[in-house]
Every structure is written in structure tokens, then in C-alpha cells.
Amino acid sequence: MKKDYEVVIIGGGPAGLSAGLYTSRARLSSLLIEKMGVGGQIADAERVDNYPGFPEGISGFELGQLMHQQATKYGLETLLAEVTGIELHEGQKEVKTTEGNFATKAVIIANGSERRKLGIPGEEKFTGKGVSYCATCDAPFFTEKPVAVVGGGDAAITEALYLTKFASKVTVIHRRDQLRASRILQEKAFSETKMEFLWNTVVEEIKGENVVQRIRLRQVKTGEESTLGISGIFISVGLKPNTDYLKGVLPLDAAGYIITNDRMETEIPAIFAAGDIRRNSARQAITAAGDGATAAIYARKFITE
């Protein structure tokens, strides 16, 4: 077993970073474990216009870096590793990671969610060869090329709008007849000349030689099939909570989200959950950060009282 901590935080997105700020400012020895790089999903947002305090907006990457800088200033330690399990022992928890195991008095689980896959032929084969789940990461590869975006929520439309800066044309493919995205995003999308919409349509197959060249589509109301020639397809059809490693440890809801009360407590004493990984989360950076602060405050109460 490696060094002991009073609090171990799993995940370095807005929820984990805010939790780390609060626990380290409360002078609790705190370790944040992140498997990729701090910032979480918000680091993929080209511009964040709805995080209070930044009237001109801020890049998601910069927001994540600033949150980390602020928490580190108060003593938060960060480890780059993947958490693979939590074991419950009398009076303490053991957090298992790819870089060793850590004993702790309290755990704040804030390791968010990841993009859902379509599960269609060609998706896996062409991932990285025209199939992408992150426009901010991959948009420049499609400069002056036609691309499709699958989905109709905030994330999909944000990605589609970003892609219009690079691609020659962006076709949004949505299985319903209207978007779920916020009105402000819809207004931007409908006035963007490079964007087109295919309503009531699903992608059945992604095809190409070595890279994506076309997709096979089906109109869900008429059953009519068609083919669309594209160079890239960006899939943004919702999220899946990263809770596979928690099965059997904590009660999860049917979709795999962690159930908490309004203090972010789970059913297991000293295990808290915060952010997108929580059932009924609003899935925003600000709500994740709020959850992280709440979890940290009640973790401190648990430890000190």
C-alpha cells in the first residue's frame, strides 16, 4: 500500500477539481487520481460561455487548467493513473489504481462519463480513420471536407458549430424531427449556412476503403435507405457513466449512474459521488463543480466529526 490520504478523489474534471480545491483548503491531505489529463470533458469544449465569472467566455481546456492550478496551490496532489477498484475495510477504504493502492478515510467519486457508441458496422473499424467522438480534437483533419454529426443535443450541436470552421459542409443527422439542444444553440445552428439537417434519420453503416468515405442512412418513418458521401463522422449521442469498476461496490441505477442524496453521500459511509457520474446530474461544468464542493464539505464533516 502506498501513502495514506484523508481524501482520495477519483477523476480530474470540474467535479473532482472543485472537490480537491475544497478538501485541500480544509487542510485535508488529498489525492486526485486522473487517468488522462486534468480538465475532464470540459477540456473538449472549444468555448464555454455559461461558466460564471468569464463574461467573454473561456476555452474549456484553459478552464480545466485554471481549476487544477487553483486546487494545487492549496496542496492538492495529483496522480496520473486509472482507478480500477475500491475495497471497503474497517474504518478505511482502499483505492486500487494502475500505479498502486491508496488507503483513505473518504473517497469522492467524480470520474464522469464517456461518449456512447452507435454500435453499428464500421464504427470500430474506422475509429481514428474518420470516426471521431471529439470535434475539438479532430476537426482540423477535415478542413474543406464534408462531415456528418450524429445527435441532436447540446454537445452534438456545439460540435457541429465548431466543425463549420473547418469542414466544407456539416450534415447533422438526428433520429427525431427536432433538436434537443438549447434554443440559443438551435438559433446559431439554423442560421449557419454550412449546416444541413437530416431529420428522422439514423446511420446504419459506416463504409470506406482505408478511411471513411460514405455512410448508409435509413429514414425511420419511411424506411427509405440512402447513402451520404463524407470524410468524417462525429458521434455525439449521449453519455455512459464510467462506473463499470464500481459494480458490486455501490448501488447504481439501471443506467449505471451512482445514486446519492443531496449531500452527495452514497449508501456507503465515507463514499461520495459528484458530477456527471451521479444520477440526475444536470451534466454541466458548473453543476459538476457545485457537486464537488458539496461532496468535499460533507467529506470534511465526516472525517472531522
Residues acting as catalytic residues: 134, 137-138
Candidate list 6, 7, 14, 68; residue touching ligand FAD; CB under 6 A: 14
> How near is the Cβ of 22 to ligand FAD at its closest, in Å?
14
Which three cell numbers, joined as nine digits, stand for 169?
Answer: 459542409
Task: Kindly write out the interface string for residues 69-108 of this chain, putting x where it contacts ligand FAD by CB under 6 A and - elsewhere.
Answer: -------------xx-------------------------
Phi-psi region of 68 (alpha: psi -120 to 50; beta: other; left: phi over 0): alpha
Amino acid letter for position 140? P
> How near is the Cβ of 32 to ligand FAD at its closest, in Å?
9
Q: Nearer Cβ to ligand FAD, position 113 or 132?
A: 113
Q: Nearer Cβ to ligand FAD, position 231 or 236?
A: 236
> How near is the Cβ of 207 to ligand FAD at its closest, in Å?
26
The DSSP result for 146-166, as a single string, is: EEEEE--SHHHHHHHHHHTTT
The answer to whether 63 contacts ligand FAD (rule: CB under 6 A) is no
Q: Nearer Cβ to ligand FAD, position 110 or 270?
A: 110
Calpha distance 261→79 (Å, rounded): 28
Calpha distance 261→240 (Å, rounded): 21
Q: Mark the segment that binds ligand FAD (CB under 6 A) among 35-43, 180-188, 191-199, 296-304.
A: 35-43
Name the one residue in this structure whose C-alpha cell is 452534438: 156
Calpha distance 187→189 (Å, rounded): 5
Span between the terminal Cα atoms of the chain, in Å: 26
Calpha distance 104→268 (Å, rounded): 14
Binding residues for ligand FAD, total number by CB under 6 A: 37
Interface residues for ligand FAD in 114-173 (CB under 6 A)? 155, 158-159
> How near is the Cβ of 267 to ligand FAD at its closest, in Å?
20
- The conformation of residue 295, written as its DSSP 8-state character, comes to H
> How near is the Cβ of 296 to ligand FAD at its closest, in Å?
13
Q: At what angle do helices 285-304 and 60-73 cross, to 10 degrees?
A: 20
Name the one residue in this structure whose C-alpha cell is 477535415: 142
Contacting positions for ligand FAD (CB under 6 A):
10-16, 33-36, 40-42, 44-45, 48, 50, 82-83, 110-113, 155, 158-159, 242, 245, 275-277, 283-286, 288
